[in-house]
A = this chain, B = another copy of it.
Amino acid sequence: MCVPGCHDVVMRRLSRRGFFKGIGAAAAAAATVPLATAPARAVPISFERVVDLTHPLPPDFPTFFGEPQLEIEKMATFDPDGYNMNRWHLVEHTGTHMDAPIHFSADGADASSIEIEKLVVPLAIIDVKAKAAENADYQVTPDDIAAWESAHGRLPDGCCVAMNSGWGPLVGSAKFRNADSEGKLHFPGFHAEAADMMIRDRNVVGMAVDTLSLDYGGSPDFKTHYTWLPSGRWGMECVANLDALPAVGATLVVGSPKIVGATGGPSRLIALV
């Protein structure tokens, strides 16, 4: 039932242990910056329509490592059994999915222990489609955040900040992973400096991307992951349909799994507008 080759690939790609441990230690400083305990929200929150920000997840959904991460085992079939039921063999970080703090930290929150108030939050969307079309390795910077705030006001208290890079609609094509001849990936992500700004100078609880990783595809060190997740914040990868939403004003509901010990997992993301 092991997804063929996946574990080996993971181990090969992420086994630079000394380096990773160094980065993890460096991230400890960021981890000491606390979240505001109770974001002040304008209430009541109102909405008129809903938008699904979740990609359908078939077994061949593209993955960071390139190997399938979902296998569906049929356990019962309506004819002759009278009902249908499956067992999933599923790597947590597949499809539109959460990265919980524990994914890149020694003792961060797992997916089941994130407070529910941090899963229903204002959504701010930073559109970098033009820049990403010019440069697939683009990283969202503090300047992009400043430009967004000039147009839309300060990032809402307790919000999720999403990058709309134009990658969402590419999910069915090779351009989604955009691997070069050496297997190196090329897609946009958040720069670690933007993550640091959102931790230290704003009250942001979640970071979302329409690509396969919070970091840009060519990242040698997952620095954005190591800056963001150990600080107690969550990430969301492979988000869909961001073009259907305004830059500010939507509320994001994060239907993440409540499996005890989960480092993340496929999630249903729903925007209320």
Residues on A lying within 8 angstroms of B by beta carbon are 1-3, 7, 10-11, 14-17, 19-21, 23-24, 43-52, 54-59, 70, 72, 75-76, 78-93, 95-96, 102-106, 112, 116-117, 119-120, 222, 225, 253-263, 265-268, 270, 272
A30 to B: closest C-beta gap in Å: 16
Which chain B positions have C-beta within 8 A of A90? 87-88, 90
Once A91-B87, A119-B270, A255-B270 are accepted as A-B contacts, the answer to whether A47 and B50 lie under 8 Å apart by CB is no
Number of copies: 2
A195 to B: closest C-beta gap in Å: 16
Which chain B positions have C-beta within 8 A of A2? 1
Residue of B nearest to A257 (CB): B266
Which chain B positions have C-beta within 8 A of A106? 78-79
Question: A91 and B75: CB pair below 8 A?
Answer: yes
Residue of B nearest to A53 (CB): B116
Question: A47 and B48: CB pair below 8 A?
Answer: no
Which chain B positions have C-beta within 8 A of A24? 78, 82
Most buried by B among A11, A95, A261: A261
8 A-B interface contacts by CB (under 8 A): A24-B78, A43-B47, A50-B119, A57-B259, A86-B262, A87-B91, A87-B92, A120-B272
Q: How many Å lie between the Cα of A243 and that of B191 in the bound state? A: 44
Question: A261 and B86: CB pair below 8 A?
Answer: yes
Residue of B nearest to A60 (CB): B260
Q: How many Å lie between the Cα of A106 and that of B57 in the bound state? A: 21
Name the one of B91, B105, B258 contacting A96, with C-beta atoms under 8 angstroms: B258
